């Protein structure tokens, strides 16, 4: 296994900073860090683009920064996006530019109060001491959990809402999935656990998925030989479990209707042992283009990527009544993935949600026409909102009497992972309960 073995010594860090061309290059490192984070916030908080894309672009413009610098900037920016409403509340009383105050709070949380405090002036120190003493219990819950009101109100209807909201504001682990076409999980797990350089990452098998490996932290896995050989991929355990629910057979015809960059396609193809036929549909050519090298790496020869115009595309109509399994991994709010994409909560509005639910219903309707008699339609989202999940399924079933819900315990039979229970026959995964991103899935069988 190859890994990034570059040692980031103090000397190198100082040298790198000495070379930097930015205006704050001569400042102490933590002071530079505050400026860097504030500079990224100026761009990210416009919410014109996803935060990870903005960060990547900023890193390209600031090539002089080393791995550790980048890591610290990214950690602080993501922390601020997770706690934005609360930090803005704390920052109201401070001095200096607003984004600088947010940067200070983010860095206090990620690199530690002591280090940050050393580089603050007296007024900043006074403000920081004051706001860190605020009793969080006195702050309104939507502000404390840093959620927009509409989302807070919806999440509050869920069971044990505070635990859920808290979990959505934590950092997600890195979930890997082994490629069952090429390797056994135990072989990879044993190799990773034996590697001293990975000790810090606490490598473990995932509790539910038979293919999952969980790491705390982010090693550069795309440089590993396992990755280059297509033996492992990045995939949240919840997403792996959705594929288990599709349970395609080797000779089936399967449609992954919203395949995107192929996250689920890859596992479905491997579950089919690269046999049968697997269509990967998507309206986005750019996303399908990202799927192609992953498919090649994983050794699959049963996948056909097809860019469709929309759900009414003639190539969809041609497959009417033909598919044994149709997966609709619908475009959704992504609220279940807030641990990884905290900016989503600030970039969505109730109106976006209404548009998404209408699109989901249209896709479900057209995709259902491809299902053969006795075949299955699997509807999934990475959302926690009932409007996108059970309500969508209930509305579909009410209008399509040929389809019935098959409880997932029945779908999985002997392969049902210990500790997984359905909610009215549907799968609902939550970060606070299952340690996965938030996911929903329902299996609908055609008579």
Ligand X SMILES: C[S@@+](CC[C@H](N)C(=O)[O-])C[C@H]1O[C@@H](n2cnc3c(N)ncnc32)[C@H](O)[C@@H]1O
Residue pair 193/284 in contact (Cβ under 8 Å)? The answer is: no
The residue within the footprint of ligand X, chosen from 58, 279, 281, 379 (CB under 6 A), is 281
Q: Tell me: does residue 258 bind ligand X (CB under 6 A).
A: yes
Ligand-binding site membership of 329 (annotated)? yes
> Between 40 and 288, whose beta carbon lies closer to ligand X?
288
Task: Quote the least distance from Cβ 340 to ligand X, whole Å.
Answer: 13
437 binds ligand X (CB under 6 A): no
Among 261, 295, 326, 344, interactor with ligand X by CB under 6 A: 261
Tell me if 311 contacts ligand X by CB under 6 A. Answer: yes
If the CB atoms of residues 119 and 266 are measured against ligand X, the closer one turns out to be 266
Tell me how far, at minimum, the Cβ of 206 lies from ligand X, in Å: 17
Does the footprint of ligand X cover residue 192 (CB under 6 A)?
Answer: no
Q: How far apart are CA 328 and CA 277, in angstroms?
A: 17
Residue in the structure block whose two tokens are 């903005």: 54
From 4-12, 113-121, 143-151, 256-264, span contacting ligand X (CB under 6 A): 256-264
Residue given tokens 């969505």 in the structure block: 348
Closer CB to ligand X, residue 20 or residue 284?
284
How far, in Å, are 26, 39, 63, 106, 219 from residue 22 at the CA level? 9, 11, 11, 21, 28
**What CA–CA distance (Å, rounded) separates 36 from 46?**
16
User: Residues 86, 49: contact at Cβ < 8 Å?
Assistant: no
CB-wise, 146 or 381, nearer to ligand X? 381
Active site residue 332: no
Structure tokens at 335: 């609220």
- Is 260 near ligand X (CB under 6 A)? yes
Contact 210, 184 (CB under 8 A): no
Q: CA 217 to CA 379: how far, in whole Å? A: 31
Say how many residues make up the chain. 447
Choice from 4, 190, 310, 349 touching ligand X (CB under 6 A): 310
DSSP H/E element including 308: none
Strand partners, 445: 376, 404
Q: Are strands 174-178 and 212-215 parallel, antiparallel or unpaired?
A: antiparallel
Contact between 263 and ligand X (CB under 6 A)?
A: yes
Residue 363 binding ligand X, by CB under 6 A: yes
252 is in an annotated binding site: no
Which residues of this protein are in contact with ligand X, per CB under 6 A?
239, 257-261, 263-264, 281-284, 287, 310-311, 329, 331, 363
Annotated binding site for S-adenosyl-L-methionine: 282, 329
| Catalytic annotation, residues | 382
């Amino acid at each position: 296994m190859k890994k990034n073995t570059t040692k980031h010594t103090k000397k190198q860090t100082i040298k790198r900073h000495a070379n930097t061309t930015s205006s704050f290059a001569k400042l102490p490192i933590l002071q530079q860090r505050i400026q860097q984070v504030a500079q990224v916030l100026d761009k990210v908080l416009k919410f014109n683009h996803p935060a990870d894309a903005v960060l990547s672009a900023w890193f390209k413009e600031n090539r002089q920064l080393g791995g550790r610098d980048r890591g610290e900037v990214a950690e602080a920016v993501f922390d601020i996006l997770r706690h934005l409403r609360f930090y803005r509340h704390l920052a109201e009383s401070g001095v200096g530019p607003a984004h600088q105050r947010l940067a200070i709070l983010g860095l206090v949380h990620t690199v530690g109060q002591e280090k940050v405090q050393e580089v603050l002036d007296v007024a900043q120190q006074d403000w920081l001491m004051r706001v860190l003493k605020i009793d969080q219990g006195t702050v309104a819950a939507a502000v404390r959990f840093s959620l927009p009101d509409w989302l807070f109100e919806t999440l509050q209807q869920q069971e044990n809402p505070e635990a859920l909201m808290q979990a959505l504001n934590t950092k997600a682990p890195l979930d890997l999935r082994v490629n069952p076409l090429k390797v056994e999980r135990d072989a990879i797990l044993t190799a990773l656990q034996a590697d001293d350089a990975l000790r810090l990452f606490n490598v473990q098998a995932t509790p539910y998925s038979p293919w999952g490996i969980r790491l705390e932290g982010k090693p550069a896995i795309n440089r590993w030989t396992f990755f280059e050989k297509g033996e492992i991929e990045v995939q949240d355990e919840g997403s792996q479990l959705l594929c288990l629910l599709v349970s395609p057979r080797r000779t089936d015809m399967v449609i992954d209707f919203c395949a995107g960059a192929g996250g689920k396609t890859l596992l479905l193809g491997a579950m089919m042992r690269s046999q049968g036929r697997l269509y990967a549909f998507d309206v986005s050519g750019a996303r399908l283009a990202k799927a192609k090298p992953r498919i090649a790496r994983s050794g699959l020869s049963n996948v056909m990527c097809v860019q469709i115009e929309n759900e009414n595309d003639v190539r969809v109509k041609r497959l009417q009544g033909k598919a044994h399994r149709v997966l609709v991994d619908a475009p959704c709010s992504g609220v279940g993935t807030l641990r990884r994409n905290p900016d989503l909560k600030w970039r969505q509005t109730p109106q976006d949600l209404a548009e998404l639910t209408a699109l989901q219903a249209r896709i479900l309707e057209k995709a259902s026409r491809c299902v053969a008699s006795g075949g299955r339609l699997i509807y999934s989202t990475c959302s926690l909102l009932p409007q996108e999940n059970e309500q969508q399924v209930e509305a579909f079933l009410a209008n399509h009497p040929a389809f019935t819900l098959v409880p997932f315990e029945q779908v999985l039979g002997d392969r049902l992972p210990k500790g997984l229970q359905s909610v009215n026959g549907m799968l609902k995964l939550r970060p606070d309960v299952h340690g996965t991103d938030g996911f929903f899935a329902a299996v609908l069988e055609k008579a």
